[in-house]
């Protein structure tokens, strides 16, 4: 963040000098320096755009309560189709994944920024220590810096993979003693007012892609024709349309956030 500020300060200074000393050696050097800094300044801004947004939110919504939900989603794609599972709380199909869990040290940090447990979803044994909180807007940038550091919180998608696919017997356990996955990036939705939460809300999603072994891929492909209510394979078009396809009488409800794995 400091690098971004330095780039823009230096660029602005050189631009002013360039205009002030036009058609002089100083002006030419200043203009050349300005042009040389524009590209790295733009790249630095792009690389830090989420952090910059969070700092702005911390200022703009500093006195308001903001709901934050941070989760991970699995892209499991075979032969152009995506595996979705039926949600346990809501009757729609969604990517394998769930809200990150927080360690005791992480909970101590959250207490230090006066983060409160979110009550939109009842807190029970399943949802305990979920990274679903409410925090004053003034502390959003502190929260995001901590979250982005990946310490004192869950940093692996294995738990939900096991709970949603192996423990439910959708997939057999033997071929999946471990999994390989690749981090695809992070989607941070812009802050918005949520009528359900009755507050401003920021949704964070880390996307992982499963890299199955040949044996695991065969097991996944073997479920294509399985008639089971708990999961299904869907095309990208079906996910974009949330299960409503032209000419088909039946509608399979698909969660809006499933689009994030495409």
Give yes or no for residue 63 having a pLDDT over 50: yes
Give yes or no for residue 37 having a pLDDT over 60: no
pLDDT at site 88: 77
CA 20 to chain CA centroid, nearest Å: 45
Q: Work out the average pLDDT over 31-54.
A: 59
Between 127 and 140, the higher pLDDT residue: 140
Q: Residue 127 and residue 155: Cα distance in Å, rounded?
A: 17
pLDDT at site 64: 97
**Residue 109 confidence class, pLDDT cut points 50, 70, 90:** very high
Give yes or no for residue 182 having a pLDDT over 90: yes
pTM of the full structure = 0.81
Q: Work out the average pLDDT over 128-151.
A: 95
Q: Work out the average pLDDT over 231-251.
A: 85
SS3 per-residue string spanning 70-87: EEEEEECEECCEEEEEEC
CB 4 within 8 A of CB 48: yes
**Residue 249 confidence class, pLDDT cut points 50, 70, 90:** low
Query: What CATH architecture is 65-261?
Result: Alpha-Beta Complex (3.90)
β-strand 199-210 against 93-95: which pairing, if any?
Answer: unpaired
Terminal Cα distance for the chain, rounded: 30
190, burial (CB in 10 Å: exposed 0-12, middle 13-18, buried 19+): exposed
- Average pLDDT of the chain, as a whole number: 85
CA dihedral (101, 106, 110, 113) positive or negative: negative
**Residue 115 confidence class, pLDDT cut points 50, 70, 90:** very high
- What are the pLDDT digits (tens) for 67-78? 999 999 999 999
- What are the pLDDT digits (tens) for 190-200? 999 999 999 99
pLDDT at site 4: 46
Q: Work out the average pLDDT over 156-183.
A: 96
Give residue limits of the domains in the chain: 2-47, 65-261
pLDDT at site 151: 94
């Amino acid at each position: 963040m400091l690098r971004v500020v330095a780039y823009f300060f230096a660029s602005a200074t050189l631009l002013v000098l360039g205009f002030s000393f036009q058609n002089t050696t100083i002006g030419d050097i200043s203009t050349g320096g300005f042009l040389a800094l524009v590209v790295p300044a733009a790249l630095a801004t792009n690389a830090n755009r989420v952090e910059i947004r969070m700092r702005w939110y911390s200022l703009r919504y500093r006195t308001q309560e903001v709901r934050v939900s941070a989760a991970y989603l699995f892209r499991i794609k075979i032969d152009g189709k995506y595996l979705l599972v039926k949600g346990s709380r809501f009757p729609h199909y969604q990517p394998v994944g769930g809200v990150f869990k927080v360690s005791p040290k992480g909970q101590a940090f959250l207490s230090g920024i006066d983060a409160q447990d979110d009550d939109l979803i009842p807190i029970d044994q399943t949802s305990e220590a979920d990274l679903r909180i409410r925090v004053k807007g003034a502390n959003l940038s502190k929260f995001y810096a901590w979250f982005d550091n990946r310490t004192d919180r869950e940093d692996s998608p294995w738990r939900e993979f096991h709970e949603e696919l192996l423990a439910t017997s959708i997939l057999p356990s033997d071929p999946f003693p471990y999994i390989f996955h690749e981090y695809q990036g992070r989607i941070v939705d812009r802050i918005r007012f949520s009528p359900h939460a009755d507050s401003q809300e920021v949704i964070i999603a880390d996307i992982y892609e499963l890299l199955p072994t040949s044996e695991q891929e065969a097991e996944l492909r073997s479920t294509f024709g399985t008639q089971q209510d708990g999961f299904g394979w869907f095309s990208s078009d079906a996910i974009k349309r949330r299960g409503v396809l032209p000419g088909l009488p039946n509608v399979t409800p698909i969660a809006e956030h499933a689009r994030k794995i495409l």
